[in-house]
Chain A
Amino acid sequence: MMLDVSVSALAAQVFTGLVLGGIFVLLATGLSLIFGLMTVVNFAHGSLYMLGAYFGFFLLGLTRNFWLSLVLAPLMVFVLGLVIERVLVRPLYGRSVDDPLLLTFGLSLVVVEAVRITWGKIGLTVDPPRALAGAVDLGFMTFPLYRFFVVAVTALVLIGLWLFLEKTDVGLIIRAGSRDPLMVRALGLDLGRIWFLVFGIGAGLAGLAGILAGPMRPVYPEMGITMVIESFVVVVVGGMGSLLGAVVAGVLIGEVVSLTTFFAPKLSEIMVFVVMAVVLLVRPSGLFGEAGLLE
């Protein structure tokens, strides 16, 4: 059976895995960043991803300009993330680590239902912008131009995030805060403002992933739920708090999903969890994680 598979189809599938992996990476870095800094698991992360796609759809209808929507939709989700942190998550700091998870679970129910009421239960289709429509012929395969664009945007955003974390003062405080929040506070820095900002950034990344995924994947109210679970698998596989881990594991899981969809469609959802179980057995702290960090 394997021999029937043409090289170009396989190459296209590998590239599809990379694109999906990019979406996973954007979600997992946000999840990991928020968790690493404030030990909050944002269950509503998938709902923010979904909102990114819906805001994108809404803005596209309003402005007819994809590029403007691409900037504004993540920005709207960023602001929403700030509001969520300030109003809902902040009162829970100092309580059990389970409480923010429970709260954001409730929030995700509310957000999904609110979207159902606003935009309906049936999915939407979003077209890629005209400039990015069509396909590129690479000789050995042809591939939609839009997907190249998604990979490029993902890479650019990750480089930007890396520079922000490694080269700026705020980034330094974020890294220090996730290592030893008590010490950072003792140095007289206001971690509360940093948490506020990081929650927003994580939300914005989820929103960006959502609007990018819009033209590639079905847009429907529950689209974020399986994504948040799979993104968490990415974080577990990559190792919590590791940006490199999130990137490697995101691409890995993207490829696993894409290639099993190709060879054995029924197994595609299951393989993700098999990979997770194997990693947990062999390296419980994840591929790039430090043992015992932030548990």
Chain B
Amino acid sequence: MRLRRTRAPALPAVKPQQLMSILLGRVRATHPGVDIRAIERAYTVAARLHAGQRRKNGDPYIIHPITVATIVAEIGMSAETVCAALLHATVEDTDYSLACLREEFGDVVAHLVEGVTKLDKIKIKSGTDVPIVTQREKVLAIASDPRILVLKLADRLHNMRTIRFLPAATQALKARETLEVFAPLAQQLSIATTIKRELEDLATNVLYPELGDQRHRTAPERALAASVLLLPSAHRARWVEEWAGELSVLSTRRARARFALHMLRGIPRLALALRQPVTCDAHRPVSTIVEKLAGVLGVIGAFLMALIRWELAAWTVAAMVLGGLVLLGAVLFARSDAPANRLRALVRTWRDPVSTARSSRDLHDRSDPSEPEAPRE
């Protein structure tokens, strides 16, 4: 399910109060009976502090925190997290201090806003020599509380929705950051999967607008752009860009076609190389979860967990198991009725052991072994 879009902030007719009533509606829907006075107070304080500030598209700034809070409320986060979303930019962008915030809204909200403020200060250097995994770890080190990560992801999501108002170079930078750092982090939070999908869609639209319009692409580019879908999502952008660079320096159409054709054959191998635990940095935190599970549930639990997190393998194995069951069923039941009768008897015994035992004893007393245990209907 996609997140319902909050009303487009680009529309000048939308007033902050209207957005607030939508937000409060969402909060009441996900947490019936919750005290919304703190949220209203957070809105009043944020609106006062951001008064006069504007977004790049000309909207009053307060629209942004309200939308972020709505995204957060839609995925069912608590009232405290919604308050923190409304106040998330106050400490950084206004003269409101963290101490004041703590005094007015308590330790939890202050802790969340502090986390988001710290996250905003770290410099993410996408597309540079700094490995992506290091950058993700930097974010995770600060966002030790998953609520902070949710707030940051919601903030990024609204910024990506309104990215068209930024200069082209900044758009590309933010989109790359989103694909390489934030979308993979969103994947780790099961509640944030809808956010992850929308982040990826928006970022891909910025970086590869031509993916939506295939008419102007050459056949090799089209083929490669389609086949990268086999790769883990965090790696796709890099490889599409890298191959586009290589194709651009190949002079003949034949050389480009050969490059693409060989690459198409190698993509499954590349996908495997990227998905291996040691290579696939996106899955590294998962492997630690798997290790923990292995300790608790043993090898089978860890194996199942690994399969669940690694969808491709999970689907393959599920298809194989299902196929095996169908074959087994066909072999067992197609040839004679005996296995089916036996199964029926087993099910009866399992559901009602007492009466089945009695009926089988009766049958036994009648000393008629040729008759099956289950009475005919």
Q: Do A and B come from one complex?
A: no
Give residues in A with beta carbon < 8 Å to B.
none
Give residues in B with beta carbon < 8 Å to A.
none
